[in-house]
Each structure stands twice: as C-alpha cells, then as structure tokens.
Structure 1
Amino acid sequence: MASRPKTAPKSPAQTLAQSFRLPNGVAVPNRLAKSALSEALGTMDNRPTERLERLYARWADGGIGLCITGNVMIDRRALGEPGNVVVEDESDLPALRRWAAAGTRRGGQLWMQVNHPGKQSPKGLNRETVSPSAVGFRADMAAFFAMPRELTDAEIEGLIQRYGNTARIAKKAGFTGVQIHGAHGYLVSQFLSPHHNRRSDRWGGSAENRRRFVLEVLAEMRRQVGKDFPIGIKLNSADFQRGGFTEDESLDAIRALVEAGIDLVEISGGTYEAPAMTGITQKASTRSREAYFLEFAEKVRAAVKVPLMLTGGFRSLDGMAQAVGDGAIDFVGLGRQLAVEPDVPSRLLAGEEPRHSIRPIVTGIGMVDRMGLMEVAWYTRQLRRIGDGGNPRPRESGLQAFAIGMIENGWNTFRTRRLRAS
C-alpha cells in the first residue's frame, strides 16, 4: 500500500497567513489581530472624526486580519478619557459608516470594542464615577481618580441595555463584530473582581454572581444583533492585585461565556493599578517567553473549545508562528507594535521581522512608570500622528510625552466639562 506523501511543514509566514473561520461562519483572512488601543481621536463632544478613518485605513492597508477598535463608550456621562467616541444613539451613523468602511476596505474584519470605564476615569472628567462598589484606588493613585459611587440595581440594568444598543448601532454602521472590554480594570472587569466588587446582592458576593453582569451584557448584545454577528470579549487572565480576579475565576468565567455563545476570547491581564499588560511589572523570565499570558491560554485551550486570541509580549515572527502552530491560540494580538509600525502585518506575512522592537516607556519618575497610564499616553500620541496623516516616532521621549500629555489631558478635560455645562 502506497504511503501518503508528507505535507511540507509551514513556514512561520505561512502559519500566520492561514485564514480562520469562526464557529458562526465568519472568515478572518489571517491570524494577525490588532488588539484595542485607546486612540482618543474623537471630538471633544465624543463624535468620530476623519482621523479615525485615516488611522484605520492605514491598518487595513497594512494587512491586518482582525482589527479591534479602541474603547467606544456606551454613555456620554462616563468617559474614560477626553476624546473618547461615544455611541449611545444613531446621530453619528454616517461618520461611523465611514470609519467602518475605511477599516474593512482590504477585506479584513473590523470589530468595535464596547466599553464603560466604571471608576477608571481621570478625576474631574465626569461629574461622578460609578462602580459596582464604592472602592477607591490605592493611596498613590487617589490623586488621579475620584472615589466612585456604588451603582444601583436599576442603573446596572440600564447599563446592560446600553451595551446592547451600542452593539446594534455598530452592526448597522458596518462594523463586522463587537468586543466586550472585560479586562484592564474597566467596568466589566470591576464587576468580576472581588477586590472592586463587594456587593451582597445578585451582582456580587460569589464568583457566579460577580460574572452575572458580563453574561447579561452578552445576552443583551446577542438579542440586539442576532445569532450570526460576532461578539468577542477581552478578559484578564488575572488582575495581579491582592484579593482580585484570579486565574481560576477567569477560567470559570470563560467556561460560562463559551456556554452562553461567545465567539472569540482575547486573553490579556492587569489593570491601571497593576499594569501586567504593558510588561513593566513582568519578571524578566516572563518577558523572555514573548507571550506574557501563554501558559494561561494553554489552560483555556485544554478546558474549552473556543477561538482564542492572545495579546501581550509578542516580538518575533517565530514566536508568533509557534504559538499559533502549536495550537495554543488562533490569533496573535498586536497592539503597541502597530502603533509604531502600522504595516507590520505585511512584513510578517512576507516572512520579515518587525522593524522596531517594543520597549518599556519610562519617564524616570517611579510612581508614573508603575502606572499603565504612561504607556497609554505615549502610544496615544503615536496614533494621533498616524491619524493626522503622518508617521509615528518610535523613539519619542517618555518624559516629554508624559509632560505634554498631562497638559493636553488637563486642557481637554476642561473643554469636555465646559461643553457639557453649556
């Protein structure tokens, strides 16, 4: 009996160039995914702009298979930063359609990340901040963030409706999917964490109660967008805070989300108070493995059957291809690399390494460097340059970016509050 000819092993580029079909039938052209980055490129009254169209067209032209937007907020009263886009009605539908068209013009997927900041919003930006419980930030960050007010049961139900409404409008505008932001210390993450959520009603206490909010959000989104429209979630492997969301709880939450019909799980980790997603707080041995949360992704893969995306720490073509080729994950999540090199997918798919290595952004000010806010500010400046039609500056000083960012953030916070008052 003749033996079957052996299939030649795939090169790293060929591995990443493979298309992937989600369980609902939606096809993604390759295994490279842009993880959400906060752009802050909306107007001061929170509407989409041409800058977003230019930025996402640049990424589409760069060959990304799945592109996930920065956080789009569900409530104009709850911003994460000045310049957030808010989608709570259809008044900006034409601009949203232009954004969606720009991001999908080369055949890739463009998903809108849907978010509410909870208490993770700079002091003074909103009239008040809310959270599952009235738990503030640690002492050295309290100057930046206000003490939140505990949400009422009726307010929680209203927020769930808002998540679904924003997802519905995203679909109508031409975005090809949505992602729930359930990581990095924002509202969904706060509900999941026993550190932030100390409620004793149906929304808190047990791990089952704490994940009720995200499951209700998923159910409401599904009700409003239908069964075939992709809904993903970005979820922490852990919060990396004492008394916070653990890996065991994360795994149980993923099991529940899979049972409820989630289409894609993106794994990350950390919060502004413990920014594991930036790599600053990671041990050298963890950073050397490239993917910070790969071990947890392997646990998820062994426990449930769901498409997986992993974000954080990927640096080399071989490292990305190995994670996909070994079957640990389905998509390589890239964020900061795309902020300094928007065409890096094309390079990787051609078998070439990235031009720029990602380095920790530091100011030399210890308290600032320990916060994820610094990284957000620096990369936001790079995205703005691309949105303005220019190129990023990979070697820009962290201290300079921090100083300029603080001035701009303060001024834009004032402008936002003044617009609301008028």
Structure 2
Amino acid sequence: MKPAVSETLLAQPLTLPCGAVIPNRLAKSAMSEALGTLDNQPTSRLDRLYARWADGGIGLCISGNVMVDRRALGEPGNVAIESEAQLPALRAWAAAGTRGGTQLWMQINHPGKQAPKGLNAETVSPSAIPFRADMASFFDTPRELTHAEIEDIVRRFGNTARIAKLAGFTGVQIHGAHGYLVSQFLSPHHNRREDQWGGSPEARRRFLMAVYTEMRRQVGDAFPIGIKLNSADFQRGGFTEEESLATIQMLADAGIDLVEISGGTYEAPAMTGMDVKDSTRQREAYFLEFAEKVRARIKVPLMLTGGFRSLGGMRSALASGAIDLVGLGRLLAVEPELPQRLLAGQEPTQVIRPISTGIGVVDRMALMEVAWYTRQLRRIGEGGEPRPNESGLTAFLLGIVESGWKTFRTRRLRA
C-alpha cells in the first residue's frame, strides 16, 4: 500500500522558479543568533550552529539577519557584510551550513529605527516616527533618510547578496517583515514621505523593488532570492493584507523565488503567537488563512512560519496545497535534530511554551522571545545543548547586563 500523500509531502523536494532544488519541505526560518564579533565578523560559533542544523536534516536553512551596514545594527553581535575581506570566515560558515545538501540562504537586513537605544550613533527610517510611548525608553526616534542615503542602502543590499554568493551561500532572503527597514518603507504608519519613496502604496513599494532589482543584478537569474514578508503589521495605520497581496504580486511578476509569510512588528508581535485566537492556535499555522488567499491569486512558492508544533499540523498545512514549505524556528532552537524525527514520522520531543518574565512591558514585546532563544542558539554554537526549561526572567536579566555591556563596547569600537 502506498503511503498517504500527507505522509510523503515532508520528504518531497521543491524546485524553485530559478531552478534551485530544496531537498525537502522543512525550512528553518531566520532567528537572531548574535554570534558575530563586536566588530561584526562571523565566528566559528556560527559554523558549529549551522553544521548542527544541516546534519539534522533541514532542507532549507535561513540565517539570522545579516546587516548591510556596520553603522546600522539591530543588536550587538550582528554579522554585517560590507566587503570581500570577510570571505574566508563566510566560506567556513557556508561550508558548514550546506553539509549533506542543505540549502543555506543568508537573510539580508537593515534595522532602520528598530535598533536598541545607544547601539548605533543614530537610527534612520523612511520618516521620523517614534515608537509608542511605553517603548520610547528602548528605542530612539529615528532621523528621516535622505534620497542619497536610500540609494546607498539599496546598493548595500546588492553588494551583501553578491558576497554571500561568492562565499558559497546557496541563496539570499530579503528581510521585509517584523518592522525592520524594508517593512518600515512598506508601512503607511512608518513611511509618511511624499516623494518618490512614499505617499501611495505603489511608492511605498518602490524601495523594496529597488532592493530586489539591485540584488538580482548582482547575483544573476539562477541564484535564489526570497523574501520574508508580513501578511500584515497588526498595527493601527500599518501595512494591510491587501497591500501585502499587491506586494507579493509585484515580486512574483519580477521573478522572486520564494515568499515566506509572517506578521507583526516589535510593537505588535503577532509572529510570537502572543495574541492569536484559540482556533488559530489549535490549527497551529498562524498565518495560513492569508497563505490561502495568496495561493488563490498568485503563483509563487510559499513558506509559512509561525505556530507549527506537531507533525500533524505540518502535514495538514502542506496537504492543503496552500503552502510549499513548513517554516520552523523556536522548535529548532531547542531541538536541532528535529527534521530527522519529522522525516521519520516522529513527533517533536520538545513543547514550545510562552516565555515570560512577569514584567508586563517586557512580556508584551518580542524582545524577550528573541533574547531567550538567542541564548539557546549560543549554547549550540559553543558546542553545548539548549536548555528548554531556562527561566525567562533569568534570561532577561542576564541578557540586559550582557547586551548593555556589548552595546557599550560596540560603540567604543566605532568611536
């Protein structure tokens, strides 16, 4: 008897529009590692971490966000790529992460205004819109970017993609979600410009299209380029589902190879599942309804991230035909060999639980989730094992001390 379709889908390869082949339907979504040096170079800890995931059987592994400018970091320990001088370390990282045929893509990013206070000399954004009042102590009000600065950032995205290809990464992903710079340009809340870069949905999409076009120019048509994009910002006056659908259509027409669907920002962290309905939580895939809307209108490979926690949930989402890849993040931070289990028809051994400090303003932001999981990734990168039961409050307090010290040292290095 042949196995049911839902039982074989996870192991099926996926061919992208550019011709690249992902060996199975399991993908690691980007998670912040912060395992770079204080001057933003890759380290051997990244090699160990990504080798562990590659050996664990993941089909597509997307790196944590790599910045295009050392002056614009999202956190201390970010890798930032500006020149080919970084190629030796990048090649070691790529070689480790592509073991066994795993596709390793570099996620490329600029934080815009979404950078902790004191880390960068200044923060920039399409418009000088501050964070909401209860987050103002964490983030500075940004300065509005000039036209020349926007064009420089576009070139930097292309240059970083070119260097990633030279280093042996097998693809790149634009980070266009979660409130970072590309997401800020797309959002009418953050982007209130009236020039060619804002004022209408079409103009707000111009920055993303310029970034994609420049990256494609520098890497060629046969090299995969994907994007992580919000289904919506879940923020008053922000990026809507209709705008997201129009953006995906634009990218599909331009030849994008893969769209990863997520949602939310630091101010409205829908990607963590913090405020999802019980019915959505039971179905597991937080943004599946939006993926179904995309699939009905647009022919483009889709990856869905957020909420998957069981073999049944993953199989069901794939079998529905709405998505092509199951995006996993937090589970892989506490169970790096999970793909081997899933492909063998076994359930995860770990259960993802909410991370809480008991401090309301902290728990309402995505920052706590990022900090806790970053600590697990560091343990793997140092050759150890994750600690799934680590206290959220302990992680937060230790993270505050460490982040403060690293922020101070990072600023001193660049002074």
- TM-score (ref. length: structure 1): 0.97
CA offsets 1:378-406 (integer angstroms, 9 cap, x no match): 00000000000000000100000000000
Aligned to 1:154: 148
The amino acid that maps onto 1:10 is A
Out of 51, 62, 71, the residue aligned to residue 57 of structure 1 is 51
Out of 262, 268, 274, the residue aligned to residue 256 of structure 2 is 262
CA offsets 1:102-149 (integer angstroms, 9 cap, x no match): 000110100000000000000000000000000010000000000100
Which runs of 4 or more aligned residues in structure 1 lie more than 3 Å from their structure 2 counterparts after TM superposition? none
* Correspondence list, 1:11-410, <5 A: 12-410=6-404
Could you tell me how far 1:282 is from its partner in structure 2?
1.7
Could you tell me how far 1:285 is from its partner in structure 2?
2.4
Distance of 1:362 and 1:209 partners within structure 2: 39
Aligned to 2:410: 416
CA contact (8 A) 1:12 1:317 kept: no
Distance of 2:2 and 2:321 partners within structure 1: 18
Query: SS of 1:342's equivalent?
Result: coil
Report how many aligned residue pairs link the two structures.
415
Unaligned runs of 5+ in 1: 1-6
CA offsets 1:149-194 (integer angstroms, 9 cap, x no match): 0000010011000000000000000000000000000000000000
Could you tell me how far 1:15 is from its partner in structure 2?
1.6
CA contact (8 A) 1:274 1:281 kept: no
Distance of 2:185 and 2:287 partners within structure 1: 22
Could you tell me how far 1:13 is from its partner in structure 2?
4.2
CA contact (8 A) 1:13 1:350 kept: no
Distance of 1:204 and 1:331 partners within structure 2: 33
Distance of 1:72 and 1:351 partners within structure 2: 34
Distance of 1:14 and 1:328 partners within structure 2: 16
- Cα pair distance change 1:348/1:13, threshold 3 Å: farther
Query: SS of 1:91's equivalent?
Result: helix
The amino acid that maps onto 2:283 is R
The amino acid that maps onto 1:134 is A
Query: SS of 2:84's equivalent?
Result: coil
CA contact (8 A) 1:69 1:111 kept: yes
Query: SS of 2:229's equivalent?
Result: strand
Query: SS of 1:160's equivalent?
Result: helix
CA contact (8 A) 2:27 2:325 kept: yes
Q: Mean alpha-carbon deviation: is it higher for 373-382 or for 279-288?
A: 279-288
Query: SS of 1:199's equivalent?
Result: coil
Could you tell me how far 1:280 is from its partner in structure 2?
1.0
Distance of 1:10 and 1:106 partners within structure 2: 27
Distance of 1:123 and 1:244 partners within structure 2: 23
Could you tell me how far 1:283 is from its partner in structure 2?
2.3
Distance of 2:7 and 2:375 partners within structure 1: 30
Distance of 1:274 and 1:282 partners within structure 2: 12
Distance of 1:30 and 1:13 partners within structure 2: 12
The amino acid that maps onto 1:269 is G
The amino acid that maps onto 1:28 is I
Could you tell me how far 1:12 is from its partner in structure 2?
4.3
CA contact (8 A) 2:10 2:315 kept: yes
Distance of 2:10 and 2:282 partners within structure 1: 21
CA contact (8 A) 2:341 2:348 kept: yes
Aligned to 1:3: none
CA contact (8 A) 2:6 2:318 kept: no
Could you tell me how far 1:8 is from its partner in structure 2?
3.3
CA contact (8 A) 1:13 1:348 kept: no
The amino acid that maps onto 2:60 is L
Distance of 1:163 and 1:230 partners within structure 2: 15
Distance of 1:245 and 1:286 partners within structure 2: 21
Query: SS of 1:106's equivalent?
Result: helix
- TM-score (ref. length: structure 2): 0.99
Distance of 1:88 and 1:140 partners within structure 2: 34
Distance of 1:418 and 1:155 partners within structure 2: 24
